[in-house]
Amino acid sequence: MEVIIDEKAGYCFGVEYAIQMAEQEMEEDGKLYCLGDIVHNSMEVERLNKKGLKIIDREQLKNLRDCKVLIRAHGEPPETYRTAIENNIELIDASCPVVLKLQNRVKHAFDKVNNINGQVVIYGKKGHAEVIGLNGQTNNSAIIVTTIEDLDQLDFNKPITLFSQTTKSTKGFYEIKNEIEKRQKEATGIANAETTYFDANDSICRQVSNREPQMDKFSKQNNVIVFVSGRKSSNGKSLFNVCLRNNPRSYFVENEQEVNPNWFKPEDTVGISGATSTPMWLMEKVAQHIRDLDHAYEPAQ
């Protein structure tokens, strides 16, 4: 049995940068607070916790004073920065540059459509850290949609500006975009469709979206796919669905302990891949575990 790790898998630069900043700070001070899980991977969170990274939520942040707090790659809403100033908290801002740029675009769009009684719509997961940060740029007035059914919240007679959470599926974004265009035409009439305001912004990170075609290719090249990801990861769920669509022998695991030996045959080529929040060391650990399983079943000489 041959076990291959997807060379394109692993951290995106935003997550990698945040983890590097956290480790540098902990080397100096021995302890650091982080607002929310630094990455949607419990194994990596546990590793960093042992080094001194303490995860807190927004309510706990309000009670902290005179300390350092890391803002992870997902970014934060404006009220987090206000709390930090009030409580004399030094923020170690590891917000992904792509997310920060998107926050700025959402803020400008909100100011614009607010003057014309319009709506800012964000395609993303409600309650996701990045979406909370984006919604904060609109005074928490954006309409969050995840499915076609969620579009029932919109008024299609009013101007609409659409953005996407950076880690969502490109396919899903364009399905939402096309459905909005269709419903807007139905609501306003074909004659008025050209003048009805709809601004769709494909704000998906290209480092993330480019993983989809790679995942498409990789999942077809191997007999079995073992996809390693935290279950909280939106990107992980999206990429795993790409695997499953191409290869029914695709399996989702958080760590090597979840691997089932019955998934494999001696003649299989096994591909190991993961989300943009999956550390390479964890994929290597899963790969080695599968190789050890293979050796365990080899007949004695």
Query: What are the φ/ψ torsions at residue 233 (nearest 5 degrees)?
Result: -80, 115
Sheet with 143-145: list strands edge to edge.
143-145, 119-123, 160-164, 198-200
Is 16 an active-site residue?
Answer: no
Strand partners, 120: 161
The closest of 209, 107, 114, 210 to 163, measured between CA atoms, is 107
156 CB-near residues (< 8 Å, 6+ apart): 180, 183, 184, 186, 187, 188
Distance from C-alpha of 134 to C-alpha of 10, rounded to nearest angstrom: 25
Strand partners, 5: 272
87 CB-near residues (< 8 Å, 6+ apart): 61, 62, 64, 65, 66
Name the catalytic one among 25, 76, 130, 254.
Answer: 130
Distance from C-alpha of 94 to C-alpha of 100, rounded to nearest angstrom: 10
Catalytic residue ranges: 130
